[in-house]
Structure 1
Amino acid sequence: MKTINKTQQGFTLVELIIVIVILGILAVTAAPRFLNFQSDAKASVIDGVVGSLNAGVRLVEGKAIIGGQNTTDISCFDNNAVRAANATTEVVNDTATDQVTCLTGTDVRFGAPDADLGSILAAAEFSGGIVAHDTVSGAAEVPALTVAAGTVVIANNLQDLRDGRCLVTYTAATSATARPTIVPNTNNCN
């Protein structure tokens, strides 16, 4: 037969409740430090923007190559094709940026979308609160948002753009041999 040791005791209900309360307090204070889902989500959105931009740029580049417009300074993308810009009827000198732009369609420089808001939005559709600004649209913000000429900045929201964090910078191609650059900045996505 088995003998029971009467000196061995278990935990009381009060002791168990105290331990559970202490563990609960630790979980509430420590978990948010380890589980920062907001910054991970914002960084993932930026990665998605980069993927969308890359796909849009590749599509326009392919259409420009097919149309023989991948080495020209200005051509226009509309009706699912890149066509030569007729200097007398299809382009206008934009006094705000001092560049020649298309009257219809979107601007394509050296086979890739130009660094203006219209061209970027035509190449890659953004939704869900994503904001993008170029030199002209950034200057129209109150207070003005500084955007370098020849670039478009894209972020989760306007505050991230203003703070210069968690954003993507698109810089247009400057020659037939220089591809556009798409640079993500996922530092400090909080």
Structure 2
Amino acid sequence: MVITNTIKSNYNQVGFTLIELIMVIVILGILSAVALPKFADFSSDAETSSIEGARGAVKSSSAIAHAQYLADGGSPASVVLEDITVVMVGGYPSANAAVVNICDAAGLDSADYTCTTASGDGTANSPRVMSIVLNGKTCGFTYTEPDFDGDPAAPAISALSGC
């Protein structure tokens, strides 16, 4: 008769070993180091998107105000858009910061955007140029009213700059 001596283990693993926990922590650290830079700079993307939205609102408002100008006979000094009387120059909203202008027509809130007349005096060959920027930032664009020389043309809306 052969007697075999077997040792039976009564050890049952219940949790993770220290090595396994350390490896998980190291892997998570590497993943976060790689992924974090891709998601950390959302603020500049949001600012750019905000000013792009404002630029689109200015384009749309300019076209809507011009359509109302034409519907009113093509000669009024101002048009009414949603209870806002917008001063018109050459058939399009004014870029004069002293009156109800394109920023008002576009619904740009002064808490978010700064609209200032940057240049021009509104006379022939000197159209007003309005600078529209995010408050506290340099990201913005310009709106140039039509040159009021008897031949109205569409206003010029620049590309974004400073973003």
Band the TM-score falls in, shorter-chain normalisation = 0.5 to 0.7
1:125, distance to aligned residue in structure 2 (A): 0.6
Which structure has the greater CA radius of gyration? 2
Distance 2:25 2:78 in 1: 64
Relative to the length of structure 1, the TM-score reads 0.59
Q: 1:25 deviation in Å?
A: 3.0
Q: Which runs of 5+ in 2 are unaligned?
A: 1-15, 121-127
Task: Say whether the 8 Å CA contact 1:49–1:168 is kept in structure 2.
Answer: no
The correspondence of residues 40-189 of structure 1 with structure 2, limited to 5 A, is 40-69=45-74, 75-80=76-81, 105-117=85-97, 118-127=100-109, 129-135=111-117, 147-149=118-120, 150-157=128-135, 159-160=136-137, 164=138, 166-175=139-148, 176-185=151-160, 188=163
The Cα of 1:28 is off from its aligned counterpart by: 4.0
The CA deviation at 1:27 is 4.1
**Does 1 or 2 have the higher relative contact order (CA < 8 Å, sep 6+)?**
1
Q: Secondary structure at 1:24's aligned position in 2?
A: helix
Deviation for aligned residue 1:128? 8.0
The SS at the match of 2:78 is strand
Instruction: Compute the displacement of 1:39 (Å).
Output: 1.6
Q: TM-score, normalised by structure 2?
A: 0.67
User: Structure 1: any 5+ residue segments left out of the alignment?
Assistant: 1-11, 82-104, 136-146
**1:185/1:121 Cα in 2 relative to 1: closer, same or farther (>3 Å)?**
closer
How many residues are treated as equivalent by the alignment? 134
- Distance in 1, matches of 2:133 and 2:27, equals 39
Cα distance in 1 between the residues matched to 2:19 and 2:158: 56
RMSD between superposed Cα atoms in Å: 2.7
- 1:57/1:67 CA distance change after superposition, 3 Å: same
> Aligned-pair distance for 1:177?
4.3
Flag the 1:185–1:32 CA change in 2: closer, same or farther, 3 A.
farther
Cα distance in 2 for residues equivalent to 1:148 and 1:31 = 45
Contact 1:133/1:154 (CA < 8 Å) preserved in 2? yes
Matches for 1:16-31 after TM superposition, within 5 Å: 16-31=20-35
Displacement of 1:179: 1.1
Q: CA deviation at 1:112?
A: 0.4
